[in-house]
Amino acid sequence: DTGVSQNPRHKITKRGQNVTFRCDPISEHNRLYWYRQTLGQGPEFLTYFQNEAQLEKSRLLSDRFSAERPKGSFSTLEIQRTEQGDSAMYLCASSPPGTGPTEAFFGQGTRLTVV
């Protein structure tokens, strides 16, 4: 499968626990995006990377959230001290050089439930 891969697909955690999600972009795609989608809403931008550099972070990304892309390949998104309001689908997308978000390919998402 050569698409964007996200793991795990589902995560149930207790409030206050830390969780980490992984995204493997399409090979050769230098841009990687994280979005969050709640029920009945469109995806909301969280952050994006060009290679290993994190170039933009949304105000939605509180200090409990951190994202990394250490070698410009896969990325991780960590949420510390999870809250019930963090329950959502976390989507990762990647795009090839020179295209930006217009040709972003999305993964299947990680669905987080905080109980």
Partner 1 sequence: QKEVEQDPGPLSVPEGAIVSLNCTYSNSAFQYFMWYRQYSRKGPELLMYTYSSGNKEDGRFTAQVDKSSKYISLFIRDSQPSDSATYLCAMNDYKLSFGAGTTVTVRA
CB of 1 to partner 1, least distance (A): 13
d(CA 27, CA 35): 20
40 versus 98: smaller Cβ distance to partner 1: 40
Q: Taking the complex as a whole, how short is the minimal distance between the CB of residue 43 and partner 1, in angstroms?
A: 5
Choice between 44 and 80, CB closer to partner 1: 44
Residue 90 CB, nearest approach to partner 1 (Å): 11
Backbone phi, psi, residue 35, to 5°: -130, 160
Provide the residue type at 51 as one letter: N
Tell me how far apart the alpha carbons of residues 17 and 79 are, in angstroms, rounded to a whole number. Answer: 8
**What are the residues binding partner 1 (CB under 8 A)?**
4, 33, 35, 40-45, 48, 55-56, 91, 93, 100-109, 111
Cβ nearer to partner 1, comparing 80 with 106: 106
Residue 98's Cβ-count burial label (10 Å; 0-12, 13-18, 19+) is exposed
Q: In 3-state terms, what secondary structure has residue 102? A: helix
Q: How far is the CB of 101 from partner 1 (least distance, A)?
A: 5
